[in-house]
Amino acid sequence: MYAGGFTGKILRVDLTKKEATTEPLPPEVARDFVGGAGLGIKYLFDEVPAGADPLGPENKLILASGPFTGTTVPCASRMAVTGKSPLTGAVGMALTGGFFPAELKFAGYDALIIEGRAETPTYLWIKDDVVQFRDASGLWGTTSGDCQQMLKDDLKDQNIRIACIGPAGERQAKVACIINERRAAGRKGLGAVMGAKNLKAVAVRGSNEVVIADGEKYQAARDDMRRQMRESPVLYSEFAKLGTPMVVDLTSALGILAAKNWSATGQFVPVETLGAEAQKQVNVGRNPCQGCPVACSQLKLARNGRYAGTLAEGPEFESFYSLGTQTGVDDMDAVIAADRLCDELGMDTMSAGVVVGFAMELYERGLLSKEAAGGLDLTFGNDEAMMALLHQMAFREGLGDILADGVKAAAEKLGGEAAQYAMHVKGLELPAYDVRGAKAHGLNYATSYTGADHNRGYAFQEIFGIPVPKEYDRLAYEGKGELCKWNQDIRTATCDCPTMCAFLLDTTLPATAAQNTAALLEAVTGLACTPEDVWALGERVNNLARAFNAREGFGRADDTLPRRLMEEPLAEGGSKGQCIPQANLDAMLDEYYAARGWDVSTGTPSRARLESLGLGYAADQLGV
């Protein structure tokens, strides 16, 4: 049915049985879910039963690229990693770029499904059709960088691409991520899932090419997209030079760069030391993903003091927040060093940094003693304490053992008032944007199927002022339910499934994203595809993800925000006086559920909407 883009083959690996099998990617699945998050959520819903322990052998990890991955479609070198999140208990899905995703495609697979649990530390070595389960005892305990180099040396092939966990994932720290090259499938604790499976790494090398169904259509669609990219006023002129961290200045100006565990947004605004001008001083090179013409990824180098000599890919914008403003650390070199440390230890910079800021607020409020902190002075801004605590989290030492599972679990263990300061939704730590000053983005935190996730429905209208589909006042509540749905669906359909880089959507192509995706899908795969089909794809995947969560017991009550955001107005800055009171959140939720065609009282997807999207089987399971 499809003639290109897809390999048509899924590799299924059972770690318990040490069995690797391949199976076809059914044409209707390819058509309805396309790839990436779509494929991941489809297999997750179908194969991981309700109530499964995220860290048990029943959980699965689905690594899926999209039909454009490995082609010359710009910015399509990504894959989604999907599993049940140990942080949230909901859908865990995180995307990563770099070179591993294309290599997996070149090896012949649209997706790799990892099941079961190895008895002893294991790594997978996939070389085209040959799949080996290999002893990883020598790799166990290594950092992500060392692990990758050791594998390349051991396998005597420097061109292997590797996705692996660091010490944090080995210890099933729920803030652990999966690292490939210098990149991360960062959030939702999927590194802990890999660690729980005793899987240190997946090494892959492929020799196949990706077939294009219709060369002429393809060239036209791709060239058209490239032209739009060239015409963008920000993509190559600014975004390519600074990458995501260019947003530090903008969010500071808007008063929505969260600081000191969200107690000082608008007050702690270290643009001078962490902003664009300061970034230019430490940017020393780029580290583009496979085949990317933009190359936004910046390598930053600390040159002074105790962190001198430390290089990092990034910090990306979100890490400037989590390891910078969130912890009150305004020293560029320290943020670079913390970013590198998290990458090496295999910890999500975002969750890890939010956890540190959480501990710092508890410490400053006297809710956490210096003794309980193992002697660390956890005052906001103490970068040495941050570094020590990050290390302890990855190795589950001392206080780090409690913090390693994220703020929600840590607050439960610490008890008392701690939960008041745990900044998360559904267990996932909050991203940088203080959504008290960006209401649709706040609604997205509340409703995203992965928890507080800026990347599932990024409200670029509110952040960048891009008037697509129309102009929005970032501080208004009306219309934000519909906007949130719009953002989530377009993001899912044009980024998370195909799998295209989200930065393109956010900065350049929102107005034409659905058309571009449809044209490219037709050309690459040979499947008929209209912009309407693309929109339906976005809605389908969001509904199936919601159905998975509903099956796990999530409902309207979980679509909420931390108390602080609802009750504490911002004291200073460009969004001074703003918060999102419960009543306003409720109103936005009502509008959102209505737009989604979901039950307004429970937030459960309706049979009608599910059936209209070809998801009748999900309705059956939910009993709606």
Q: Is 152 in the site for a copy of itself (CB under 8 A)?
A: yes
Which of 404, 425, 304 has its CA nearest to residue 345? 404
For residue 534, give the amino acid letter. V
C-alpha torsion sign, points 533, 534, 537, 539:
negative
**284 near a copy of itself, rule: CB under 8 A:** yes
For a copy of itself, the closer CB: 17 or 280 = 280
448 contacts a copy of itself (rule: CB under 8 A): no
Contact status: 197 vs a copy of itself (CB under 8 A): no
The answer to the question of residue 298 lying near a copy of itself (CB under 8 A) is no
Can you tell me whether residue 199 is helix, strand or coil? strand
Interface mask (CB under 8 A) for a copy of itself, residues 62-101, using x and -?
----------------------------------------
Give me the least distance between CB of 309 and a copy of itself, in Å please. Answer: 5
Angle, helices 513-525 vs 215-231, to 10°: value is 150
Distance CA 146, CA 166 (A): 9
Look at residues 525, 543, 619 and name the one whose alpha carbon lies nearest to residue 4: 525
Judged by CB under 8 A, which of 1, 50, 130, 308 binds a copy of itself? 308
Q: What is the 3-state secondary structure (H, E, C) of 507-523?
A: HCCCCCHHHHHHHHHHH
Which of 344, 361, 462, 591: binder of a copy of itself (CB under 8 A)?
A: 344
Query: Comparing C-alpha atoms, which of 448, 446, 444 is closest to residue 460?
Result: 444
220, 295, 301, 587: residue in contact with a copy of itself (rule CB under 8 A): 301
Count other C-beta atoms under 10 Å from residue 311's C-beta.
17
Contact 198, 120 (CB under 8 A): yes
Query: Of 24, 49, 51, 138, which one interacts with a copy of itself (CB under 8 A)?
Result: 138
In this complex, which beta carbon is closest to a copy of itself, that of residue 286 or of residue 563?
Answer: 286
Q: What count of residues does the chain have?
A: 624
Lookup: tokens for 112: 């790799």
Site string for a copy of itself, 373-402 (x = CB under 8 A): ---------------x--x--xx-------
* Cα first-last separation, the chain: 32
* Binder of a copy of itself out of 17, 230, 306, 413 (CB under 8 A): 306
One of 120, 158, 207, 369 touching a copy of itself (CB under 8 A): 158
Work out whether 309 is an interface residue with a copy of itself (CB under 8 A).
Answer: yes
- Reduced 3-state DSSP string for 120-159: CCEEEEEECCEEEEEECCCCCCCCHHHHHHHHHHHCCCCC
Binding part of the chain for a copy of itself, among 21-29, 47-55, 141-149, 352-360 by CB under 8 A, reads 141-149
How many C-beta neighbours within 10 Å does residue 221 have? 22
Asked if 130 interacts with a copy of itself (CB under 8 A), we say no
Query: Which tokens sit at 250?
Result: 């903008």
Q: From 142-150, 242-250, 559-567, 616-624, give the range in contact with a copy of itself by CB under 8 A.
A: 142-150
Q: How far apart are CA 159 and CA 284, in angstroms?
A: 24
- Compute how many residues bind a copy of itself; rule: CB under 8 A: 33
Tell me which DSSP letter residue 433 carries.
B
Task: Compose the 561-580 pattern: x for residues touching a copy of itself by CB under 8 A, - for all others.
Answer: --------------------
Asked if residues 554 and 55 have their Cβ atoms less than 8 Å apart, the reply is no
Instruction: Determine, following the binding rule CB under 8 A, whether residue 166 of this chain makes contact with a copy of itself.
Output: yes
Which among 473, 578, 474, 585 has a CA at the least distance from the CA of 262?
578
**Rounded to an integer, what distance in angstroms lies between the CA atom of residue 529 and that of residue 98?**
28
Nearer to a copy of itself, 393 or 615 (CB): 393
Q: Looking at 261-269, 302-310, 505-513, 597-605, which segment touches a copy of itself (CB under 8 A)? A: 302-310
Closer to a copy of itself by Cβ: residue 86 or 166: 166
Among 211, 311, 372, 468, interactor with a copy of itself by CB under 8 A: 311
Element spanning 318, H or E: helix 317-322
CB of 419 to a copy of itself, least distance (A): 30
What is the nearest approach in angstroms of a copy of itself to the Cβ of residue 220? Answer: 28
Cβ neighbours of residue 568 under 8 Å, at least 6 residues apart? 579
Among 9, 56, 127, 150, binds a copy of itself (CB under 8 A): 150
Residues that bind a copy of itself (CB under 8 A): 137-139, 141-143, 145-146, 150, 152-154, 158-159, 166-167, 284-285, 287, 299, 301, 303, 306, 308-311, 344-345, 388, 391, 394-395
